[in-house]
Structure formats: structure tokens, C-alpha cells
């Protein structure tokens, strides 16, 4: 018999652990994994299993409400700025004191906890205090892509559920079973970087090849002028915006389906619509970040290919030696840009800085 965990691909060890955890819940869990590990989807399934009387049957009203983002006893915390502030954590603490309205637990989700150690006033100590004084019926679900050393104490207060990025083969199999051709599925899976939801969007994205070409052709566009750098940054940003269209279409279809269900039930509006729309915005933000990660990986690969060609040449003259030095510097610049994505940097600023730095080489 299927349940909420059956839709989670490539996380067998984590799913087995979660099936055990839901039978004897504790006050806090930490679900972590790289971009593309489907942390959000896994988190929703785990929460449904925690709230469901049958531990995640997938068929009851509780499971349906959780999976659709309409469960009133599940609260996804939001932050006011780029990082979690102490004031944000105090809001979380107030929510955590509530008693559940109808479900077994009051579940509070705090996403991207690595952002509690960034910003002008790190809020990790406040989050730690909140975790150490939980209400009886409250369960915290924390998520993170990576865990800085500063979070080791918070990590020790939670049951850890590590996830892994999906393999290309696993994603290809899912896409082919869904009706995609193997050729298109392979291209989408390779570009999705282990993210199944993103792969489902990319498999219907005819502009994927054009974005690949845009990133791969970047080194040849820089002619030493700021105008060439600015044009590249604008083109990439526009391409990412266009790439969002299939995801927005998918989200709009979800809202239409929920609206139809609400109408059938005699409701005037979709329950929890605001939460769903906030979730969609977070998903769009993650999609843009994943597009940038993918593009930077492609760009780094281009420079690595050049590095390999230069270092395997029979001999290097002075000009080739200079080109080799430039190539190494370019790899370092792209790597630094990739790392900056973890700091919630503004997309436009990152692309502009990247292009200007590469242009100056």
C-alpha cells in the first residue's frame, strides 16, 4: 500500500529512518542536504506522517492538508530579511508556544537555518534557546543545505536526517516513466543537479539548450569592456526569468486544482492560500538559485576544459603561460561566486561582479 513516503526518490535510508521516527516523535528534527536533495518535499512528507493517525497513509484528510499546505497546525516560519534575525526567532518562539488546534502536534518549520549565523546580528543563540525550551505538543522541523561549524550545538539538540542529491540515472528513470524521451530526460536530469522537481520543470523547457550555450559561450563574450560584462549579466538574468515560466505554470495549475476542490466543498476560497503562495515564492527563489548554481558549474567546467588543454600541451610559450594563469584565476572567480550563493546575495549584484571580474582578466 502506498503512503506519503513513496513519492520520495533516492532517499531510502532517510525514509526508513523517518518511518521509525514518526512512531515515537521527539521535539526537534534537522533535515539537511545539498541543493537538489528535495529537502522541502521530504519535509512535507515527514510532517504529514507525524500528523497522520496512520503515520502517513497519504489518503486521509490530514495527509492531504499537509501536502497541499493547508494544515493549520503546521507553521512555516518566514524571515523579514536575507538572514534570520533575533526578532524573527522570537516570533517563532511565540508560535511554538501554541497548542495544536486539531492535529496531534503543533509543528514549526524553520528553513535555511544556516542563515542564523549570517547577517549583522546572528540569531543562532536565540534559536538554540527556543529549541531547549519546547512546548509539550510542539515539534520543530529545521532544514539546511549545509551546516556551518557554528551550528554544531543546534545540531546536537535535534535528530538529524541527512539527505543526498539524486543521481542522474535515478532522475532519468523517473522522467522516462513520466513520458519524456530518454534524450530529453538525460539533458534535463544533468541540468537539474539532483533536484527532481526542477527536472520535471526542465524536461518541458525548450530553452534549456539555449541557456547552456549562453553559459558556455561566456568566456568569448568578454572583450575587456564593462559593456560586455553588463550585457552578459543582463542576458543571464533574463534567461533565468524566462526559465521560471514552466514552474509558474505548474504552480498556477496547482492553485486552480485547489480552487476547484474548494468550490466542490462549498468554500469561497482556497484554505491557506497565503501560505501556498508564500511556498511558491520560496520555490521560485530556489529555482533561480539552482539555475545560477547550474550555470556557474557549466562555466567552471568550460574553464577547466581550457586548463586541461593547456596543461596537456607538449610545451607552453609565454603567451600560453599567461593564458594558463588567466584560466586559473577565472576558475577561482567562478568558485567564489558559487560560494557566495550560500550567503543569500542579490542575484543581479552577483552576476555583475562575476562578469566584471572575468572581464578584467
Sequential DSSP letters for 198-239 = HHHHHTT-TTHHHHHHHHHTHHHH--SSHHHHHHHHHHHHHH
**CA 277, 55, 32: angle at the middle one, nearest 5?**
55
Are 103 and 242 found together in one domain?
Answer: no
pLDDT of residue 151: 94
> Is residue 137 a contact partner of residue 99, using CB atoms and an 8 Å limit?
yes
**Max mean pLDDT range (149-153, 273-277, 281-285):** 149-153
Domain end among 162, 195, 221: 162
Verify that 131 and 10 share a domain, yes or no. yes
pLDDT of 145 over the 50 cut: yes
Q: Count of domains in the chain? A: 2
Query: pLDDT tens digits, residue range 237-248?
Result: 999 999 888 888
pTM confidence score: 0.67
The verdict on residue 270 lying in a domain is yes
Tell me which residue range forms the domain holding 27.
Answer: 4-162
CA proximity to 254, closest of 270, 237, 238: 270
Domain-embedded: residue 172: no
- Domain end point (choices 108, 131, 162): 162
User: Which pLDDT tens digit goes with each residue over 328-341?
Assistant: 999 999 999 998 88
Please, are residues 46 and 31 in contact by the beta-carbon 8 Å criterion?
Answer: yes
Residue at a domain's end among 162, 194, 214: 162
pLDDT surpasses 50 at 289: yes
The answer for residues whose C-beta is within 8 angstroms of residue 89's C-beta and 6 or more apart is 116, 123, 126, 127, 130
**147: domain CATH number?**
3.40.50.300
Q: Is the pLDDT of residue 291 over 80?
A: yes
> Are 138 and 231 members of one domain?
no
Q: Which residue has the cell 533536484?
A: 195
Q: Are residues 133 and 253 in the same domain?
A: no
| Cα gap 140→133, rounded to integer Å | 11
Shared domain check, 350 and 272: yes
8 Å CB contact between 310 and 323: yes
Same-domain pairing of 8 and 64: yes
Q: What span, in angstroms and rounded, lies between the C-alpha atoms of 8 and 11?
A: 7
The three cell numbers of residue 48 are 504529514
Check residue 119 and give its pLDDT.
Answer: 67
| Shared domain check, 77 and 215 | no
Is there a single domain that holds both residue 49 and residue 134?
A: yes
DSSP character string of 237-274: HHHHHHHTHHHHHHHHHHHHHHHHHHHHTT-SS-TTHH
For the chain, the distance separating the N- and C-terminal CA atoms, rounded to the nearest angstrom, is 59
Confidence bin at 205 (pLDDT 50/70/90): confident
Whether residue 177 lies inside any domain: the answer is no
| Residue 186, in any domain of the structure | no
Does residue 353 sit in the same domain as residue 231?
yes
Q: Does 1 score more than 50 pLDDT?
A: no
Whether residues 215 and 326 fall in one domain: yes
- Asked, for residue 196, whether it belongs to a domain, the answer is no
Residue 85 domain-assigned?
A: yes
Residues 129, 211 share a domain: no
Q: Does residue 189 sit within a domain?
A: no
% of the chain residues with pLDDT over 70: 98
Q: Same domain for 247 and 301?
A: yes
Residue 178 lies in a domain: no
Amino acid at each position: 500500500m502506498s503512503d506519503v513516503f513513496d513519492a520520495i526518490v533516492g532517499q531510502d535510508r532517510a525514509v526508513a529512518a523517518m518511518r521509525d521516527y514518526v512512531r515515537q516523535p521527539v521535539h526537534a528534527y534537522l533535515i539537511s542536504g545539498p541543493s537538489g536533495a528535495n529537502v522541502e518535499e521530504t519535509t512535507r512528507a515527514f510532517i504529514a506522517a507525524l500528523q497522520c493517525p496512520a503515520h502517513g497513509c497519504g489518503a486521509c484528510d490530514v495527509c492531504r492538508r499537509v501536502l497541499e499546505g493547508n494544515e493549520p497546525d503546521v507553521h512555516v516560519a518566514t524571515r523579514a530579511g536575507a538572514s534570520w534575525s533575533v526578532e524573527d526567532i522570537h516570533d517563532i518562539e511565540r508560535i511554538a508556544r501554541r497548542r495544536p488546534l486539531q492535529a496531534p502536534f503543533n509543528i514549526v518549520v524553520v528553513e535555511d537555518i544556516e542563515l542564523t549565523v549570517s547577517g549583522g546580528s546572528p540569531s543562532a543563540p536565540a534559536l538554540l534557546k527556543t529549541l531547549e525550551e519546547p512546548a509539550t505538543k510542539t515539534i520543530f522541523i529545521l532544514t539546511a543545505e549545509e551546516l556551518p561549524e557554528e551550528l554544531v550545538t543546534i545540531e546536537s539538540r535535534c535528530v538529524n536526517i541527512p539527505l543526498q542529491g539524486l543521481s542522474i540515472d535515478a532522475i532519468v528513470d523517473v522522467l522516462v516513466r513520466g513520458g519524456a524521451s530518454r534524450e530529453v530526460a538525460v539533458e534535463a536530469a544533468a541540468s537539474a543537479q539532483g533536484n527532481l522537481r526542477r527536472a520535471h520543470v526542465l524536461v518541458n523547457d525548450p530553452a534549456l539548450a539555449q541557456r547552456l550555450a549562453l553559459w558556455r559561450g561566456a568566456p568569448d563574450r568578454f572583450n575587456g569592456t564593462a559593456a560586455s560584462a553588463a550585457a552578459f549579466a543582463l542576458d543571464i538574468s533574463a534567461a533565468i526569468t524566462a526559465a521560471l515560466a514552466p514552474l509558474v505554470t505548474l504552480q498556477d495549475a496547482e492553485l486552480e486544482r485547489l480552487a476547484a476542490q474548494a468550490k466542490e466543498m462549498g468554500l469561497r476560497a482556497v484554505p491557506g492560500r497565503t501560505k501556498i503562495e508564500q511556498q511558491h515564492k520560496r520555490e521560485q527563489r530556489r529555482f533561480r538559485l539552482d539555475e545560477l548554481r547550474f550555470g556557474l558549474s557549466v562555466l567552471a567546467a568550460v574553464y577547466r576544459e581550457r586548463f586541461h588543454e593547456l596543461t596537456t600541451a607538449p610545451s607552453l610559450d609565454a603567451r600560453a603561460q599567461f593564458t594558463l594563469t588567466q584560466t586559473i584565476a577565472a576558475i577561482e572567480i567562478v568558485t567564489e561566486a558559487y560560494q557566495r550563493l550560500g550567503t543569500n546575495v542579490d542575484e543581479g549584484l552577483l552576476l555583475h561582479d562575476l562578469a566584471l571580474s572575468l572581464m578584467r582578466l
